[in-house]
Structure 1
Amino acid sequence: MFSTFNLFASLFIYRYLRLVVNLFAFCRLRPIPRPDNPRLTSQDVTVVIPSIEGDGAVLWDTIRSILVTEPFEVILVTINANLTRAKSMIERMGTSKVQVQSVAYPNKRRQMVCALPHIKTDITVFADDDVLWPPKLLPWMLAPLEDEAYGGVGTNQRLRRAEAPNLQQRIYGYLNALYLERRNFDCASCMYMDGGLPCLSGRTVAYRSNILKDEAFIRGFTREEWLGRYQLNADDDNFITRWLVSHDKKIGYQYHKEAEVLTTLEDNPNFVKQCLRWSRSNWRSNITSMFCDRHVWRKQPWSTYAVHQTTLLQWAFLWDCLLLYLYLTSTEVWSPESQLLGLTALLSWMLMSKFVKLLGHYIRYPVDLLLLPISIIFGYLHGLIKAKAMLSLNVTAWGTRDGADDDDAYRMIRVSRKQQEAGYASMPEEVDSGRGEKCEHNYGLPYHV
């Protein structure tokens, strides 16, 4: 008979096995070293930056930090309404290595695809418009791509901490920093175990240009659906990661200080909307990976257990309460002293598990240990965000950025049966580039309905 204690032990192992193994894997991972005589150099790289605003101090700093790494070219893709502002900013920068393009509506996938015909290099790096690069980033990103088996390479990321933050900014910044620290930990651990990743983050990521320019890729990228009813325009980095896995391309992840990108996140009440967007992306992508594509079960079994399935089955508050209940129920026959000793050990373990993989952050910022109770409480409350995300997977609104949600119907286009049968009629679109050129690349994008 399967006793209550056996049920407790099984749940305990399911909940914490991945933590123990991932701690071992995280300590063992080493980045792929830079070769002495690399075949690929920074002149083999074009950097694409999708941006809505097209200018501003943060974007200025981003482009400057990228130019220091000496790529072949930078392509800034904004929207038509902000094209003039983007051109003016680049002119003030006094550089000839940045060209500007634009699309009609805010849509990251369309902005990314818009740049592809202008890329002349073997490697394309996508970067968000709020990141800071270290000077030696490109050699480290290119190191894995010396091997033709690799299709993409990701970077580790840290938060650009606010200067002189108020209490609200400090708390939100703390939670953001932990999110990135946790993500770095999961990526490094999974990479060591089976070469998998939760996702190659679009904040800064390198791909082989021939993969991105492949017609089958562009068709899938621009026509991805959710539930067979909607044209999905969000979750671009999740799609590309799944594409690499399904097409037998290896994924690299350089966990190294010189491959560490700084980024900004929401340090205001928009933080909750940001978490909702992330959670919706996780639901959609992990369900697709496990039950539609299904390649991860064979190619990345550990990553499937440690990351993908947690979206469905990992609910911290529920599991912790159930663990405590099963423990107390199954140890009723123990002496009070033994039961209390075991309970103390269990609670201590549960507390340790909440911060051990974030130890690197606390070593860098020991004062943040004072905020540890906030992260524990938020970890439990995050279940509510996750549940709300599950019930609103048809929403792809950015939610936290001015101008990104002007027309959500355009971002999440419901596809009619007639359009499905017609194979998505293409929609010609003129794209104005910063060099005064007209380019008409529609890639079979659907009509705006």
Structure 2
Amino acid sequence: MPVMDVDKVMLTVFTALFLLRYLRTVVSIFTFNLYQPKRIGDKPTYTSRDVTVVVPTTFKSETELTHCLRCIFACSPAAVLIVSSEANTHMIRSICGLKGFSRVKVLGVEKLNKRTQMIKALKEVETDIVVFADDDVFWPERYLDYLLAVFEDPSTGAGGTRQRVRRNPGFFTNVFNFLGISYLERRVWNNISTNAIDGSLSTLSGRTAAYRTHILQNLELYHWLERQNDDDKCLTRYVYSHGWNITIQSDPNAVLETTLEDNSKYIAQCMRWARGHWRGNFTVMKQESYWCSSRYWWGLYVIYIGQFQTPAALIDGFLFGLLAGAIHNSDHASTAYICLAAWIFFTKIVKLIPHFRRYPQDMMFIPVSIAFSYLHGIINVYALMTQSNTHWGSQKIERLQSARAQEEEIVLLLRNALGKSETQGEPVPD
């Protein structure tokens, strides 16, 4: 083949791979910034009095649970159900009683399993809407009002909101806290972008997710959920497969905050999430048809085809190799390499710009963030090869199932928990 033809072929392959990899990024910049929040109507179909909040908790931290409950009750739901291990129900009831939380019912399960806990609570729900919330999330004022706005569309069966990792106090934070922040910023960006175009979503996060109760309150769902491994992905799949839409509320007044591991345990969290991602997506691809339908065409490209564009170091390296092969004789080769490198750099930070606007000092972590994005590609590959591993990684379930304190220690723990919870700040809108 003539040299010129080889150059053209390599340039064509480079262009095709570049578009396949980065078209979604270009489109997401517009969709994320132009997607309109769901407005609260003058006469909303549902209010907070139509909501039961379910908190399936491992009870890892009494301080976080107390603060979480304060945020939930500030939004005035009709009822709150807390489900934990039988060994800790007495202490949780004591916390609720000492704090004066009303409308709380504490349920217990023999072994901690989020799906088992969810099923136990679902059987007790009497409201039209059920909201599942993790015990480490913190809602802003009127959070439920904004969340419920997604149900003004009668075709919406479930919904969620934007999320943010709580930044450690002080001018500077640590690197693991920043990595957790950047992870969730990117995930929220991707979710809003795909949801805005065709309603698709990889996973409706269980940190806080709202559902029409009648969709989940049936024996079919209970039996089905008991046999699954990944609760968030399972419920997402169940809602879509039954013909319902899932909607993300992007209003900046409805941004919940959460905490992630801010130490080396964060790596174990990433591994668990990555395994769940592969396991859940492959289950959808094997057992469902909605993912490849014309209805969710953009999600097919971004979520299911896009998942194989890993590790990033290999793909980006291949792009540079193709570009070098196509233009190595050109006088502008150096300029082209610089432009490609600048573009890749831009794509690594564009989804973090909202965070950098709030905390410009965190730009010092940009090199670490980029390095970790390439490391995460390796984590993804390892997770793909070990996806059958379903252990929690960063938590010891056996320890959490046992009683947190003996009877004589409970009062002291309660006082400490309540005192610390009063000093924690509330989420702040953008």
TM value normalised by structure 2: 0.88
- Which structure has more relative contact order (CA 8 Å, sep 6+)? It is 2
| Aligned equivalent of 1:242 | 237
- Runs ≥4 residues deviating over 6 A: none
| Aligned equivalent of 2:419 | none
Q: What letter is aligned with 1:174?
A: F
Q: Which of 336, 346, 349 is equivalent to 1:352?
A: 346
Q: Which of 190, 197, 204 is equivalent to 2:201?
A: 197
| Aligned equivalent of 1:19 | 25
Q: What letter is aligned with 1:195?
A: G
Query: Could you list the per-position Cα deviations for residues 106-163 of structure 1 after superposition, in whole angstroms to 9, with x for gaps in the alignment?
Result: 1000001110121110000000001101111111111121332110011110111122
Distance 1:406 1:44, change over 3 A: closer
More divergent stretch after superposition (270-279 vs 209-218): 209-218
> Unaligned 5+ residue runs, structure 2?
402-430
Question: What is the CA RMSD across the aligned residues, in angstroms?
Answer: 1.7
Q: Matches of 2:398 and 2:74 in 1, distance apart? A: 29
Distance 1:173 1:42, change over 3 A: same
| Aligned equivalent of 1:387 | 381
| Aligned equivalent of 2:337 | 343
Q: Matches of 1:201 and 1:291 in 2, distance apart? A: 22
SS at match of 1:125: strand
Q: Does residue 331 of structure 1 match 2:337?
A: no
Query: Could you list the per-position Cα deviations for residues 6-41 of structure 1 after superposition, in whole angstroms to 9, with x for gaps in the alignment?
Result: 111111111111101111111220111111111211
Q: Does residue 140 of structure 1 match 2:149?
A: no
After superposition, residues 76-87 of structure 1 pair within 5 angstroms as: 76-87=82-93
| Aligned equivalent of 2:313 | 317
Percent same amino acid at aligned positions? 37
Q: Matches of 1:274 and 1:37 in 2, distance apart? A: 42
Q: Which of 124, 130, 136 is equivalent to 1:124?
A: 130
Query: Could you list the per-position Cα deviations for residues 276-311 of structure 1 after superposition, in whole angstroms to 9, with x for gaps in the alignment?
Result: 010001101111223321311113111121123222
Q: Does residue 66 of structure 1 match 2:72?
A: yes
Q: How many residues align?
A: 394
Q: Which of 250, 270, 274 is equivalent to 2:269?
A: 274
| Aligned equivalent of 1:362 | 356
TM value normalised by structure 1: 0.85
| Aligned equivalent of 2:285 | 290
Q: Matches of 2:175 and 2:380 in 1, distance apart? A: 20
| Aligned equivalent of 2:409 | none
Q: Which of 154, 157, 160 is equivalent to 1:154?
A: 160
Q: Matches of 2:255 and 2:33 in 1, distance apart? A: 17
More divergent stretch after superposition (209-218 vs 100-109): 209-218
Q: Answer yes or no: is the 8 Å Cα contact 1:398–1:405 preserved in 2.
A: no
> Unaligned 5+ residue runs, structure 1?
225-231, 408-449
Q: Answer yes or no: is the 8 Å Cα contact 1:131–1:203 preserved in 2.
A: yes
Q: Does residue 102 of structure 1 match 2:108?
A: yes
How far apart are 1:404 and its partner, in Å? 5.7
Distance 1:31 1:404, change over 3 A: farther
Q: Matches of 1:394 and 1:102 in 2, distance apart? A: 28
SS at match of 2:123: helix
Distance 1:273 1:55, change over 3 A: closer
SS at match of 2:397: coil
Q: Answer yes or no: is the 8 Å Cα contact 1:66–1:133 preserved in 2.
A: yes
Q: What letter is aligned with 2:255?
A: E
Q: Matches of 2:343 and 2:16 in 1, distance apart? A: 16
After superposition, residues 201-280 of structure 1 pair within 5 angstroms as: 201-224=205-228, 232=229, 235-280=230-275
Q: Matches of 1:246 and 1:111 in 2, distance apart? A: 23
User: Quick check: which one's helix share is greater?
Assistant: 2
